């Protein structure tokens, strides 16, 4: 489990005679849940005088201070009413038997006219999972820059903004959505890590400065039930890849989709309702079970993609990165990936001129294969129909249904269970030349062997005659 931590706002403002409500968030471990909780004020001598704790309330604050602990989600809520000027100062919200235990410090300013702060929003996520943060901005102007930053000792470190900035650690896993008519916008974060836990600010920033930001406390639970899914795909130019977008089968989603991530934005490419972005029509398909096939790959297709599922204001997202390899780098190698197997393309067996075919297992029924067709291994009992000229086909397993109705150059059929394959984009055209050279070499070799055989036969006959003559001479002399 992650080490204990406690987060809260660093500044709080209240109005004379008014009230404030402050929340502190701690790691909800069994030890923390049963510890003493306290709210104390730093005095002139540097000590922290208890105002209220789990079992004590200062006599000076009787009737105007309350502390509530919710151990299930690790939240301490402190409310102070009837604020006075003397209430201004530095406070601690903490856990422990003394006031020097685990704590977070903040400054309270009691003013004649103060802006009421927005309550801190608590967001809880699982390791490797995703979260949706709804930021309520007071300004509905779309030209305002929207931002997300993490509060630290030296200020608020920028993480992402609507102008395209994204911190290096968040590349491919954060999106700031456009503002809605109410001025609110969403921050989507996925592939959550332990170090993502902490206090954040989100809001808008214009020429006149930053509007009142929203405080967000993000807690990432390390005891996650979510699997760590690999997020790397490899394909070749002209080839295709297929993969499964995994979503909770028990969930109810308004829309499941695939989007292309760029600079903190994610443009939807296709969804299960049949929508396909114009640039991907004819080369991409998403089935009702969220199986995705991207074909006729181009170099510019390389980059980050998100599988997404929307349910109300919440969006579940998962990232994956697509690498596009040039030439035959991926075509002549066999490798296993967490999302599936990349099949090795092999040419073998009897090959007619300009035709490349793989191993066909015993008992396989095949239809007519047109001149110039390239095929890889075909599993036993698989039936195949006529394939158009110059079509490249990947491994076809028993019962497999291709997501695209028509095989286009460089596409491959995907097997169930999230298997994806890099298909070839056309074998080198040197094969006919190589075959001709090999045939010529074989003919020359046969001629040489024939001549050598004739010469050997002549030499053998001459030697035999010499032996017979020698034997006759020996007999006569005897």
What region, left, alpha or beta, does residue 260 occupy, with left being phi > 0 and alpha being psi -120 to 50 degrees?
beta
Helical (H) or strand (E) element with 142: none
CA distances in angstroms from 321 to 173, 269, 283, 442, 478, listed in the order given? 11, 15, 18, 49, 97
User: What is the CATH T-level fold of the domain 6-111, as seen in this structure?
Assistant: Immunoglobulin-like (2.60.40)
Q: Tokens representing 302?
A: 């390389």
Domain assignments of the chain as residue spans, ordered by start: 6-111, 121-221, 232-309+319-324
Q: Which residues contact 83 (CB under 8 A, 6 or more apart)?
A: 14, 15, 16, 17, 18, 19, 20, 110
Read off the pTM.
Answer: 0.57
Q: What is the pLDDT of residues 295-350, one digit of tens each?
A: 999 999 999 999 999 988 889 999 999 999 986 554 443 333 333 333 333 333 44
Q: Quote the radius of gyration of the chain (alpha carbons, Å).
A: 37
Q: Are 316 and 260 in contact (CB under 8 A)?
A: no
Beta bridge partners, 232, equal 321
12-50: buried (b, 16+ CB within 10 Å) or exposed (e) per residue?
bbbeeeeebbbbbbbbbeeebeebbbbbbbbeeeeebeb
Instruction: Give Dmax over CA atoms of the chain in angstroms.
Output: 150
Which CATH number does the domain 232-309+319-324 belong to among 3.40.190.10, 2.60.40.10, 2.40.170.20, 3.40.630.30?
2.60.40.10
SS3 462: helix
Say if residue 381's pLDDT is above 80. no
pLDDT of residue 87: 94
pLDDT of 395-448, one tens digit each? 333 333 232 333 333 333 333 333 333 333 334 445 566 677 888 888 888 888
Same CATH fold assignment for domains 6-111 and 121-221: yes
Residue (of 193, 198, 189, 188) closest to 27 by Cα position = 198
Per-residue pLDDT of 239-275, as tens digits, reads 999 999 987 777 788 899 999 999 999 999 999 989 9
At residue 215, does pLDDT exceed 80?
Answer: yes
Average pLDDT over residues 79-88: 92
Cα–Cα dist 260/246, whole Å = 17
CATH number of 121-221: 2.60.40.10
What is the mean predicted confidence (pLDDT) over 4-22? 84
């Amino acid at each position: 489990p992650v080490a204990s931590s406690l987060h809260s706002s660093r500044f709080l403002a209240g109005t004379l005679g008014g009230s404030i409500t402050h929340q502190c968030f701690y790691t909800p471990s069994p030890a923390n849940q049963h510890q003493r909780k306290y709210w104390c004020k730093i005095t002139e001598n540097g000590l922290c005088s208890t105002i209220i704790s789990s079992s004590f309330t200062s006599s000076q604050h009787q009737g105007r201070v309350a502390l509530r602990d919710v151990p299930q989600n690790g939240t301490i809520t402190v409310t102070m009413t009837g604020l006075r000027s003397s209430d201004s100062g530095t406070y601690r919200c903490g856990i422990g038997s003394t006031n020097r235990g685990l704590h977070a410090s903040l400054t309270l300013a009691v003013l004649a006219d103060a802006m009421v702060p927005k309550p801190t929003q608590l967001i809880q996520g699982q390791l490797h999972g995703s979260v949706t943060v709804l930021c309520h901005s007071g300004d509905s102007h779309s030209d305002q820059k929207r931002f997300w930053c993490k509060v630290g000792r030296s200020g608020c470190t920028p993480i992402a903004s609507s102008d395209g900035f994204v911190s290096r650690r968040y590349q491919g896993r954060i999106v700031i959505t456009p503002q809605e008519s109410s001025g609110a916008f969403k921050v989507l974060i996925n592939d959550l890590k332990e170090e993502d836990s902490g206090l954040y600010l989100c809001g808008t920033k214009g020429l006149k400065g930053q509007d009142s930001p929203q405080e967000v406390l993000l807690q990432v639970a390390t005891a996650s039930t979510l699997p760590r899914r690999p997020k790397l795909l490899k394909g070749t130019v002209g080839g295709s890849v297929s993969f499964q977008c995994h979503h909770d089968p028990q969930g109810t989603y308004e829309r499941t989709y695939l989007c292309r991530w760029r600079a903190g934005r994610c443009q939807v490419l296709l969804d299960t309702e049949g929508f396909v972005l114009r640039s991907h029509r004819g080369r991409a398909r998403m089935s009702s079970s969220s199986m995705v096939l991207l074909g006729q790959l181009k170099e510019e297709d390389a980059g980050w993609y998100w599988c997404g599922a929307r349910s109300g204001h919440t969006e579940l997202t998962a990232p994956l990165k697509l690498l596009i390899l040039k030439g035959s780098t991926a075509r002549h190698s066999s490798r296993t990936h967490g999302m599936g197997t990349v099949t090795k393309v092999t040419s073998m067996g009897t090959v007619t001129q300009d035709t490349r075919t793989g191993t066909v297992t015993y008992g396989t029924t095949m239809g007519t294969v047109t001149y110039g067709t390239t095929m890889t291994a075909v599993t036993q009992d698989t039936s195949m129909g006529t394939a158009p000229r110059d079509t490249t086909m990947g491994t076809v397993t028993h019962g497999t249904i291709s997501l695209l109705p028509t095989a286009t150059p460089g596409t491959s059929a995907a097997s169930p269970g999230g298997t994806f394959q890099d298909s070839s984009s056309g074998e080198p055209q040197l094969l006919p030349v190589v075959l001709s050279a090999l045939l010529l070499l074989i003919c020359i070799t046969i001629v040489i062997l024939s001549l050598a055989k004739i010469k050997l036969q002549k030499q053998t006959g001459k030697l035999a005659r010499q032996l017979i003559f020698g034997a006759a001479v020996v007999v006569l002399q005897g």
